[in-house]
A and B are shown apart, each in its own frame.
Chain A
Amino acid sequence: SQQGEEDPQALSIQEGENATMNCSYKTSINNLQWYRQNSGRGLVHLILIRSNEREKHSGRLRVTLDTSKKSSSLLITASRAADTASYFCATARSGNTGKLIFGQGTTLQVKP
């Protein structure tokens, strides 16, 4: 079964607009992480939010976490063409062993 599920699967916006993508999960977690993957490249870590945190910022990125709803959102403000990529959430299971499960990803296209 899928732990992290992203929504939407694909998103197309104009440069300058904001992009929001969501991630839902099923089990208790230690943290939730977001990664970006440009076409043909490896995954790049964007941000990690711990289970006791509700919101975190990094530059143009804002991540929220709602553990009661088992969901997270990633907001990219003032998007640029260079933000075109696939975005994945990953959840680290709570407990002593951090089993890490990735979602299927959201493909974001930012049109210039």
Chain B
Amino acid sequence: DVKVTQSSRYLVKRTGEKVFLECVQDMDHENMFWYRQDPGLGLRLIYFSYDVKMKEKGDIPEGYSVSREKKERFSLILESASTNQTSMYLCVSTPGSGNTEAFFGQGTRLTVV
């Protein structure tokens, strides 16, 4: 059974904290994505990685950075958490050309207080 695993289901962090969200996939997929989902706004792409150490900004990268040191792991970093980063964060992976369905992690509900 294919798996995309996010390190936390729920997180509560304080404003100004540095936050790490981890995602691991066991399918040897080239592509990994971080999205945030907010009501009425759909899934918005934060960052995309198509290979180890390769990344591309999505539509809303401000306030975020990413790291992909190993193929199976893609980390999202909130450098200094703010309340407007309270959201559901979804990690997704797909193989190289993306010609299959996407595989989703279970999501991390982050609350910044």
* Chain A residues within CB distance 8 Å of chain B: 1-2, 30-31, 33, 42-43, 45, 48, 50, 88, 90, 92-93, 95-105
- For the residues of A in contact with B, the DSSP-based class is strand
Q: How far is the CA of A70 from the CA of B91 in the complex (A)?
A: 27
- CB pair A98–B31 under 8 Å, yes or no, is yes
Q: Inside 8 A of A102's CB, which chain B residues have their CB?
A: 35, 42-45
Which residues of chain A are within 8 angstroms of B97 by Cβ–Cβ distance? 30, 92, 95-98
Within 8 A of A (CB), among B57-113: 59, 92, 94-102, 104, 106-107
Q: Bound state CA distance, A31 and B43, in angstroms? A: 18
| Contact among A1, A92, A103, A104 for B98, CB-based, below 8 A | A92
Shortest CB-to-CB span from A50 to chain B, Å, is 7
A-B contact count (CB 8 A): 75
Measured between beta carbons, the chain B residues less than 8 angstroms from A101 are 45, 59
Q: Is the CB of A90 within 8 A of B104?
A: no
The number of residues on chain B lying at the interface, defined by a beta carbon within 8 Å of a beta carbon of chain A, is: 27
B99 lies within 8 A of A50 (CB): yes
Whether A100 and B41, one on each chain, are in contact in the complex, defined by CB atoms closer than 8 angstroms, is: no
B48 contact set on A, CB distance < 8 A? 97, 99-100
Do residues B96 and A99 form an inter-chain contact, with CB atoms below 8 A?
A: no
B108 to chain A, nearest CB (A): 12
11 contacts between A and B (CB under 8 A): A1-B59, A31-B98, A43-B104, A95-B97, A97-B31, A97-B97, A98-B96, A99-B50, A100-B94, A104-B42, A105-B42
B33 touching A100, Cβ below 8 Å: yes
The complex places the Cα of A24 from the Cα of B104 at a distance, in Å, of: 23
Q: A42-B107, A43-B104, A102-B35 are in contact. Are A88 and B43 (CB under 8 A)?
A: yes
Residues of A within 8 A of B59 (CB): 1-2, 101
Q: Closest 8 CB pairs between A and B?
A: A98-B98, A92-B98, A104-B42, A97-B50, A102-B43, A45-B101, A105-B42, A98-B97
